[in-house]
Amino acid sequence: MWFITSSALLYTYFLSPLASLPNAGILAPVSRLLWEFPAEYRGRITLDLPKLHRALGPLIRIGPNQVSFYSLEIYKAVHGPISLFFKDSRVYSQFVQDGHPALFSITKVPALTEMMLRQIDKWINCLAILDAKGPLNLGLVCRALESDILSTFAFGDAIGGIDSLETGEELAIYVNFQDLTGLWHLAAALIFRFSGWELSSVISSQRFDNWANAQLVAMKDSEKGSGLSFLKVMAGARMPEQTALSEAKEMLGPGTDTTSATLAHILYALSLNQIFRADLVTDLEASDWPTDMSALEAIPRLVAAVKEGIRWTGAAAAMLPRIVPRGGQLLAGKHLPEGTMISSSPIWYLRDEIAFPNPELYRPSRWLDPGKNEATSLRDEYYIPFSRGASTCIGNHFAYLELFLSLSQVLKRYSIHPGDQSTVTGPSHEAVLPSRREWVAAVPVHRLKVTPRERH
- Residue 156 touches ligand HEM, criterion: CB under 6 A: no
Question: Which amino acid is located at 359 in the chain?
Answer: P
Q: Which is nearer to ligand HEM, 165 or 316 (CB)?
A: 316
- Residue 399 touches ligand HEM, criterion: CB under 6 A: yes
- What 3-state class would DSSP assign to 380? helix
Helix (H), strand (E) at residue 50: helix 45-56
Q: Which is nearer to ligand HEM, 35 or 438 (CB)?
A: 438
- What 3-state class would DSSP assign to 174? coil
| Beta carbons of 16 and 29 less than 8 angstroms apart | yes
- Residue 315 touches ligand HEM, criterion: CB under 6 A: yes
- What 3-state class would DSSP assign to 359? coil
- Least distance from C-beta 223 to ligand HEM, angstroms? 27
Residue 393 annotated as lining a ligand binding site: yes
Residue whose C-beta lies closest to ligand HEM: 395
What is the x/- site pattern for ligand HEM, positions 371-390, by CB under 6 A?
--------------xxx---
Q: Which is nearer to ligand HEM, 138 or 399 (CB)?
A: 399
DSSP state at residue 11: I
Phi first, then psi, for residue 263 (nearest 5°) are -60, -45
* Residue from the set 35, 382, 398, 404 that interacts with ligand HEM by CB under 6 A: 398
Measured at the CA of 426, the angle between CA 425 and CA 431, to 5 degrees, comes to 65
- Rounded CA gap, 202 and 189, in Å? 9
Q: Which is nearer to ligand HEM, 16 or 246 (CB)?
A: 246
Q: Which is nearer to ligand HEM, 71 or 262 (CB)?
A: 262
Question: Would you say the C-alpha torsion 366, 369, 375, 378 has a positive or negative sign?
Answer: positive
- What 3-state class would DSSP assign to 261? helix
- What 3-state class would DSSP assign to 289? coil
- Least distance from C-beta 267 to ligand HEM, angstroms? 14
- Rounded CA gap, 379 and 325, in Å? 30
| Selected range binding ligand HEM among 170-178, 179-187, 313-321, 349-357, rule: CB under 6 A | 313-321
Q: Which is nearer to ligand HEM, 21 or 150 (CB)?
A: 150
Q: Which is nearer to ligand HEM, 262 or 406 (CB)?
A: 262
What is the x/- site pattern for ligand HEM, positions 64-103, by CB under 6 A?
----------------------------x--x--------
- Residue 162 touches ligand HEM, criterion: CB under 6 A: no
| Selected range binding ligand HEM among 176-184, 233-241, 248-256, 270-278, rule: CB under 6 A | 248-256
Q: Which is nearer to ligand HEM, 175 or 202 (CB)?
A: 175
CA distances from 363 to 10, 139, 266, 428, 433 (A): 50, 21, 11, 10, 11
- What 3-state class would DSSP assign to 401? helix
- Least distance from C-beta 440 to ligand HEM, angstroms? 10
- Rounded CA gap, 308 and 326, in Å? 39
Q: Which is nearer to ligand HEM, 28 or 323 (CB)?
A: 323
What is the x/- site pattern for ligand HEM, positions 183-222, by CB under 6 A?
----------------------------------------
* Residue from the set 262, 271, 340, 408 that interacts with ligand HEM by CB under 6 A: 262
* Residue from the set 29, 64, 255, 418 that interacts with ligand HEM by CB under 6 A: 255
- Least distance from C-beta 348 to ligand HEM, angstroms? 12
- Rounded CA gap, 317 and 391, in Å? 16
Helix (H), strand (E) at residue 86: strand 86-87
Instruction: Kindly tell me the burial class for residue 60, based on how many C-beta atoms sit within 10 Å of its own C-beta (0-12, 13-18, 19 or more).
Output: buried
Phi-psi region of 21 (alpha: psi -120 to 50; beta: other; left: phi over 0): beta
First-to-last CA distance in the chain?
Answer: 78
Annotated binding site for heme: 393
Annotated binding site: 393
Residues forming the site for ligand HEM (CB under 6 A): 92, 95, 251, 254-255, 258-259, 262, 310, 315-316, 320, 346, 385-387, 391, 393-395, 398-399
